[in-house]
Amino acid sequence: MRLLLILLLYFLNFNHSLSEIIFEERFEDGWKDRWVLSDWKRSEGKAGTFKHTAGRWAADPDDKGLQTYIDARHYAISAKIPQFSNKNRTLVFQYSIKFEQDIECGGGYVKLMSAYVNQKKFGGDTPYSFMFGPDICGTQTKKLQVIVSYQGQNYPIKKDIECETDKLTHFYTFILRPDATYSVLIDNRERESGSLYTDWDILPPPKIKDVHAKKPSNWDDREYITDPNDVKPQGYDSIPKEIPDPKAKKPVDWDEEEDGIWRPKKIPNPAYKGPWKPKVLVFRFNLRKLITCSIFKHLEHGVQKIKNPNYKGKWKIPWIDNPEFVDDPDLYVWKPIKYIGIEVWQVKAGSIYDNILLCDDPKYAKEVVEEIWAKNRLAEKEAFEEAEKIRLAQEEQGKKDKEGEKKRNRGWRHHKRVLHFCFTVFYF
């Protein structure tokens, strides 16, 4: 039993040794040596800087990240990392972010870059291989950006993935596998998955509709038709409405010389059915059942219809091979990643970036989330609620102070008017 346990631990450690952590940043001692603050927009007075802090509320005040802290600024900072190629490997990118501000409009994403980057000039126009993270603007835009670059063009994911918008820390994880499948996780819970081939318009579709196709002239798409056997019988129109009464008898005293030719009286002809009409159905149930009855759906002006034996279904435009489609079995392969960068613009600042991870092991990324977020989220929530109580109390006190100031000002104005009146009366 002991031997089995030792072997199990060995294989677990062996599997971990095969995985590789390319870059992991928790913004502890020495982080300034790894990150370069860009001067992009600084000459225009529009560049922001980052503050190394745990924020106004945190489970652990010593667990610090980088916070944007000046409103209406562009933020750009980057780190050079060991070159990483995901060919035949799983790529895992993960980080945490906390929006301490009431974010009105701004990004909270991170970029991975492959080409050489002049880090002091890193900015919004710097090409990137991948952009991932929350993007919020007003009440309409609260989505997770997942943008992949391919042959110099950026392709956003076609699916809408909602991001978190509260004021607590959340982990965002993107996993890309060698079979081009992906997963997006928030706080270790999968929010979306699929394939690069289907969820991005990177490659032209392999099949397209044949715009030149036309419905064949002999294509019968009538599901129900009038019963062809329900036709007007031959001679139907010759049937008289009335016929002589066969039971009538000429009176005994009838004198044809005086009374004329005797003709029996007419009676309704039982064979006469009126003008010919196709067969109709007579329903003997309530209107609700009539509306939902499948037979009723196949009536036209009360005429019963039958299944069309020649029905071929609704004609659809056929799909054909797309002549512009060229498959790329290495669609999942990105140019080797060399830099990680934060480049955002925010109306209101206050976002804290932390726990940035690039590796090839989804299990390790999951363990990081469990170690930090799962362990600290309740304590962080309590710290946030306590901070909110203090903030609301301060706001309430501020309102009272303002009201008191207004009352004092009103009293002073009143005394001033009285003094002015007294002075005027005394002087004159």
* Encoded tokens for 328: 């790329």
Contact by Cβ (8 Å): 193, 175: no
Nearest to 297 by CA among 274, 276, 281: 281
Contact by Cβ (8 Å): 377, 98: no
User: Computed from CA positions of residues 353, 358, 362, 365, in that sequence, does the dihedral angle turn out positive or negative?
Assistant: negative
Determine whether the annotation assigns residue 249 to a binding site: no
Contact by Cβ (8 Å): 221, 315: yes
Determine whether the annotation assigns residue 382 to a binding site: no
* Encoded tokens for 330: 């290495």
Task: List 23's β-bridge partners, or say none.
Answer: 358
Q: How many CB atoms lie within 10 A of CB 175?
A: 20
CA angle, residues 262, 264, 266, in degrees to nearest 5: 140
CA distances in angstroms from 275 to 111, 305, 325, 352, 393, listed in the order given: 81, 20, 63, 86, 89
Determine whether the annotation assigns residue 135 to a binding site: yes
In single-letter form, the type of residue at position 341 comes to G
DSSP-based three-state secondary structure for 178: coil
Determine whether the annotation assigns residue 210 to a binding site: no
Q: Which residues of 335-367 are buried (b: 16+ CB within 10 A; e: fewer)?
A: eebbbbbbbbbbebbbbbbbbbbbbbbbebbbe
Determine whether the annotation assigns residue 343 to a binding site: yes
* Encoded tokens for 114: 């492959």
Listed in order, strand segments (DSSP E) in 167-254 are 169-176, 181-186, 189-195, 207-209, 224-226, 242-244
Distance CA(366)–CA(171), nearest Å, equals 10
Distance CA(148)–CA(144), nearest Å, equals 13
Feature table: binding site for an alpha-D-glucoside: 109, 111, 128, 135, 343
Feature table: binding site: 109, 111, 128, 135, 343
